[in-house]
Amino acid sequence: MDLAIPDMALVVLIGASGSGKSTFARKHFAPTQVLSSDFFRGLVADDENDQTASADAFDALHYVAGKRLRAGRVTVVDATNVQREVRAQLVKLAREHHVLPVAIVLDLPESVCVERNAARPDRDFGAHVVRRHRTLLRKSLSGLAREGFRRVHVLRGQSEVDEARIVIEPLRTDLRGETGPFDVIGDVHGCRAELEDLLAELGYELERDADGRAVGARHPAGRRAVFVGDLVDRGPDTPGVLRLVMGMVEAGTAYAVCGNHEQKLVRALDGRKVTVAHGLGESLAQLEAETPEFRAAVRDFCDGLLAHYVLDGGRLVVAHAGLPERYHGRASGAVRSFALYGDTTGETDEYGLPVRYPWATEYRGAAMVLYGHTPTPEAEWVNNTMCLDTGVVFGGKLTALRYPERAVVSVPARKVWYEPARPLGAFTREPDSLELTDVLGRRVVETGYGEVSVRAEQAAAALEVMSRYAVDPRSLWYLPPTMTPPPTHRDGDLLEHPAEAFADYLDQGVREVLCEEKHMGSRAVVLARRDGTGVVHTRTGRAFFPSDDLLPRIADAVTAAGLWSELDTDWLLLDTEIMPWNVKAAELIKDQYAAVGAAAGSVLPAAVSALSAASARGVDVSDLLERTRGRADNAVAFRAAYRGYCGGPVRIAPFQVLASAAATYHTTPHLWHLSVADRLVDADPDLFAPTRRLAVDTADADSVAAGVAWWTELTSAGGEGMVVKPAANLLMRGKRPVQPGIKVRGPEYLRIIYGPDYRDEANLARLRERQLGHKRSLAQREYVLGLAGLDRLVRGEPLWRVHECVFAVLALESDPVDPRL
């Protein structure tokens, strides 16, 4: 005897004392799934039979049950539950968490219950208690469904109890096992011709009946369509749309969720009282010309549509009006109502239409949510959600999103079929507008290269920096990622060495790498426009320096290099290093490095002199004198190291073309980027500095040795070091990119970072225990955010979509990470 239990259900066991509920629960459910009233009495009163503790016990039980239901876990309440008011609280709890309440009734003879209680030493009540329970149970049986229980299983007698088997059934909305690929199609509203156009554009092959009517469609690659509802009303051919979609659903080549117009059509077809408006009259008139059999099929099809689907392991949710995360995969009247209608303020706008809460602007869920319902001129991403209703029936477009490719495909309406009550573009957001709700609070940014989470406190810290120090956000399109050092070198007196960088990339499956000279300056992003305007900003979005004179020179160099026409653009976004170091870091050098150098230069020579005099007098200070001389030498080297990077004219070393109006370039090999940089150097060698480079095969010992020798040459001559990058640029390892670059810094540069005496044995031993895991993770997350922002920029998405990624990078930078790494 199978007892079907919906997934995520609240299971309420009902039966008189002694009916075997606890035994039944232990047999069919995991111990963690069962919440026993006796157990909770024991928790609060140290006595499972203390009936005076029942109120507190049930209060605790309901609290724990709520936590489990919120997490979507099957929860079983083991108590007598024979009183209606007790069950009402449990049904209410299930509804609050949008799960289905299920009743399992153990209806055993009174004599059996009395006998069992008598055999238990902890049960000292008489048969009259069981008799009262049985009376209450009998009165309840016929009304359990009316109380709100979605399923009621009654087991009469011990044989049925013994034969029972629990079967957990997935909810009908649960299509997590269906992984796609899908083509999710927006509101059709009776526009059959446009639907056929869109399916053809998506690559589907239409199937027609003997009368030439489209009755199905199939994709040769096995893709399936998912319709977001509102197939009917307003348009010229609601029966034609339904005939096609019903055929696809029946053949398994499509899914469809219910829209508010389908629900209203069912009520009208059932003869119930409805207001014939918003295109319903057109649908009814068109269906009247069809056969009774077809109308009956339409009624059954629309009535059977579910309010939402959860697909692809929970990564995709489709609902007509959208769905907040707390409702995903849940079942309740509130969930269905939101999925069909959204959430309104109760007010109407100047066109007499309901004002809706902008739920998508507050959405922070990991699942992509695709929906329709409220027409918009363009399908745009909002916090990993997209409205696909682009108003085809109002003369707009019929739109689909290819999933998982995230490609938008649209076909134009053949005409205005229905005049909208509100203009299609009314109240749409200006593309360059920015709002606090775009960035505040916890959020998950879908980058196309994986998801990146931003905590609320990180966003608050970023807002402080952005609002007080950043350049105009209309020109702030990209922030570069932090860069990670290689795994720590363990031999000799070096902390970083190229061998670890080469081995790291080889472990990631990358053989061809490019070593680029690391300029000792400050990272800068240059936005250069053909007209000589633009902006130069730091990697945290601050204005680099007054650049009004610099930007025209950059534009002239780009012109001389022939890049405006070659790249078909009037702007370029460049990743660069600006030298000398003191252009931006003057205060840092003065207040930190120079102060340390000056103090050491004043104190240590005097200490050496005093110790030398003491030694000459016969005092044994040889060890201390040797250490002090070493520290004095280190201080001299320290001052020479930072002074070597200061002074001279301003020069820019570009090393990557980030984007232009026509394209992004993160899949273009790094040698191409450096060739563009070389052309800028040739155009203005006084402004632009070249970047030396060397190709290395990480699997070839001779090539690796050449890379090590080149790094040694660079650093011995006073260079900072080099950056090792995959030669091909963006490379994926599974669903994540490999590290975009690993910096290998020379020993004298690290003296600036870690202090004059960092190469002493004791200091090196401590520094070799530095933790790099968080830094590496941060570099990858910031990298994919940057790529996503550039992709959105070039696709022409609104500024706030681009800025979402920029802001997220700055938010991640607020995390405490050792700045010396």
Average pLDDT per block of 10 residues along the chain, 821 residues long: 90 92 94 94 88 90 95 93 94 93 93 86 76 90 92 93 92 92 97 96 96 96 97 95 97 96 94 87 94 95 96 96 92 90 67 67 87 89 90 94 94 90 62 74 81 86 85 91 92 91 95 95 93 92 81 95 95 94 77 82 86 88 88 85 81 95 94 97 96 97 97 91 96 88 92 86 88 89 93 86 90 83 78
Residues forming a β-bridge with 638: none
Dihedral, CA atoms, 372, 377, 380, 385, nearest 10 degrees?
Answer: -20
Q: Which pLDDT score is estimated for 350?
A: 54
User: Do 43 and 57 form a contact (C-beta atoms < 8 A)?
Assistant: yes
HSE toward the beta carbon, residue 615, CA cutoff 13 A? 12
Q: Which pLDDT score is estimated for 315?
A: 94
Strands laid side by side in the 693-697 sheet: 693-697, 512-518, 721-726, 742-745
Cα 530 from chain centre: 36
Closest C-alpha to 664, from 509, 802, 514, 475? 802
Q: How far apart are CA 263 and CA 268, in angstroms?
A: 9
Could you give phi then psi for residue 775, rounded to 5 degrees?
-65, -40
Helix (H, G, I), strand (E, B) or coil at 749: helix
Amino acid at 494: L
Residues forming a β-bridge with 102: 11, 151
- 612: Cβ contacts below 8 Å, ≥ 6 apart: 625
Location of structure tokens 């200061």: 646
Name the burial class of residue 763, with classes exposed (0-12), middle (13-18) and buried (19+) by CB atoms within 10 angstroms of its CB: middle
- 203: Cβ contacts below 8 Å, ≥ 6 apart: 219, 220, 221, 223
Location of structure tokens 């007098």: 617
Q: How far apart are CA 31 and CA 19, in angstroms?
A: 19
